[in-house]
Structure 1
Amino acid sequence: MELLFVALGGAILGTIARYTLPRRAEYGVLVVPAIGTAAAAVVWVALTWLGMAWDSGWIWLISLLAAAAVSYGSALLIGRGREAADERLLAALSAGTATA
């Protein structure tokens, strides 16, 4: 049950990251929230496998901070990468050298 709650927290943090950072028109609506959800769940499971108790405050803090960091980082990287790829494609199309 706690895994569900931490995944929901990761989704919320991913949604916040999506709407607070620039270049959000460069990628889909659910990309960053899905990344935040996955990051929170993976970190949570890894920490429980390492022996951290599910009722400890530290597991919650670490999992949600990791989800926030991964969400913000991926939103910045995906947006920047897609913008650069679009600019390269526009330059190639303008020069007439692009192929489908």
Structure 2
Amino acid sequence: MELLFVFLGGAIFGTIARYTLPHRDEHGSVLVPAIGAVVASVVWVALTWLGWAWDGGWIWWVSLGASVIAVVVADLAIGRHRVQTDAALLTKLTGSTATATAH
């Protein structure tokens, strides 16, 4: 049951990151919340395998904290990469920026 709460917590933090960080129009609406949910769940399961108590406070802080870090990094990295690749593709398709503005 706790794994479900951790999954939902990661998805909520991912949703918050999606709507508060820049570049939200550069990726799908479910990508960042899904990353948050998966990271929180994987960290939670790994920590329980390492013997951390599921009813302890540290497992919650570490799992959800890792989720927050992952969604911020992912959102910023995906957004920057998408902007750069879109600009490169536009330049490639138009020949150059001068050609694109001349037409």
Question: What range is the shorter-chain TM-score in?
Answer: over 0.9
Counterparts of residues 1-100 of structure 1 (less than 5 Å): 1-95=1-95
Q: Which amino acid aligns with 1:2?
A: E
**Aligned residues: CA RMSD:** 0.9
After superposition, the C-alpha distances for 1:30-68 in whole angstroms (9 at most, x for unaligned) are: 000000000000000000000000000000000000000
Distance in structure 2 (CA, Å) of the matches to 1:87 and 1:59: 42
Distance in structure 1 (CA, Å) of the matches to 2:81 and 2:62: 28
Distance in structure 2 (CA, Å) of the matches to 1:77 and 1:95: 27
Q: Which amino acid aligns with 2:10?
A: G
In structure 2, runs of 5+ residues without a counterpart are: 97-103
Extract structure 1 runs of 4+ deviating beyond 3 A: none
Q: Which amino acid aligns with 2:35?
A: I
Distance in structure 1 (CA, Å) of the matches to 2:54 and 2:29: 31
Distance in structure 2 (CA, Å) of the matches to 1:33 and 1:79: 15
| Amino-acid identity (%) | 60
In structure 1, runs of 5+ residues without a counterpart are: none
